Amino acid sequence: MAAAGPPREVMVFAGCSIALLFGQGVVFAALGVALHAMARDMGWSAAAAGGGFTAMIVAACLAATLPVWLIARIGGRWTMTGGALVMACGFLVASEASTLPLLTLGTALSGAGFSLLANTPAFAMITGWSGDRAGRWFGLYLMAGAAGTAAGPIAAQSLIAGIGWPGYWRTMALCALLLAGLLAGLLRDPPRPSARGMDGARPLMAPLASFAYAVMAGAMVLTQAAILTVFSAAPAHLGGHGWNGSQVAAALGLQGLVGALGTGLSGFVLRRVPARTMLPAALLAEAAGIAALASGGPLTVNALFVPAFGLGSCLVTLAVTVLLVDHFGQRAGTAGLALIWTLAGAASAGPWLAGLTADAAGSYAPALLGLAALLLPAALGAMLIPAPHPILSGPDA
């Protein structure tokens, strides 16, 4: 008899993690490096290059609720496989982006494909197979994403230096096609959830009515704005302070590595430290890291930005993911996460506004400092999140 045992759970987790590692590394972490090279060769302004980042994020957020609809019809396996194929199309378009409209189309397709293979569908797949063990897997899953953040800029810098940005994008398109085949082979949809597993009596959109959900959503939107702005602005900002491309890629990669290691360990630490304690601490660390980046000095960037932003930005995502399950359960939590990623469309303004600031003021520092300041009230709100109430009661809870 074929049982839904640990081997299948591990295979699904592995597929989800590989998808996040690749998507996070290429679509988010390395996009700033690629856009910087493209803008330099094509003579585009900082605002124009930031617009490519904005298009990616808007498309990713508009597509964020599609997995909820698609999983109910074709399952998580084919939803995530299709996401890899859409991403490959985006990379191919980007490789031919001699004009801004083509750049916008390529980055938009890349962002939409990312939303179909990471975060919301992976949340549903992992919780569907792992149940009460999902919290541990979330930490390791997000660790894979942070590893992609670490490797993405370094790999992009090396490939672009060797084969140019068109060759880089074509190589990533081939990798995305291979990823699609891997996902089709590894993933299987979880057994149909019971009423207990899906929190049957709880209204699907109940999270919208709570203070806790509003704080979680705000923290995630600001964190996504910070991540996108940092990866979009850091190459040009640090370049203006005398850093070369390899040094910038190394700093961005190292902060991603710090985040990866910290997130993986924190998945186990959550057994003793509540996620609602972790969230405000992570937001404060994130703010300190961005302020250090704004200075542009080697000492502050390497000693403060790398560990504080690397760990803080990753732990916000982990804490919010766990809090969604704790407060609202699998079914409402999945819908709430999808809605958060849609609301994160507001984060797309970050790279664009930072580019406008740089064009007007000659520096990205004012935009970075403003973003750091916005994280402080979010940390205060996170301190006020109440302890979760049990979703179910009785012997089956």
∠ CA 30-33-36, nearest 5°, is 145
Long-range contacts of range 356-359, CB-CB < 8 Å, 24 or more positions apart? 356/47, 356/50, 358/46, 358/47, 358/233, 358/236, 358/237, 359/45, 359/46, 359/47
Amino acid 397: pLDDT = 35
Burial class (CB in 10 A: 0-12, 13-18, 19+), 302: middle
Of 1.10.760.10, 3.30.70.20, 1.20.1250.20, 1.20.1300.10, which CATH number belongs to 6-189+203-383? Answer: 1.20.1250.20
The phi-psi region of residue 164 (left if phi > 0; otherwise alpha if psi is between -120 and 50; otherwise beta) is left
Please tell me the predicted confidence (pLDDT) of residue 197: 40
The per-residue pLDDT for range 116-138, each reduced to its tens digit, is: 998 888 888 888 887 666 667 77
pTM: 0.73
b/e burial code for range 154-179 (CB count within 10 A of at least 16 → b): bbbbebbeeeebbebbbbbbebbbeb
What is the dihedral angle through the alpha carbons of 168, 171, 20, 62, rounded to the nearest 10 degrees? 70
What are residue 44's phi and psi, to 5 degrees? -80, 155
What is the DSSP secondary structure assignment for residue 247, as one 8-state letter?
H
Alpha carbon of 27 to those of 219, 231, 351: distances in Å? 21, 11, 14
CA 335 to chain centre: 17
What are the residue ranges in the chain where pLDDT is below 50? 1-5, 194-201, 392-397
Domain ranges in the chain?
Answer: 6-189+203-383
Residue 281, pLDDT score:
92
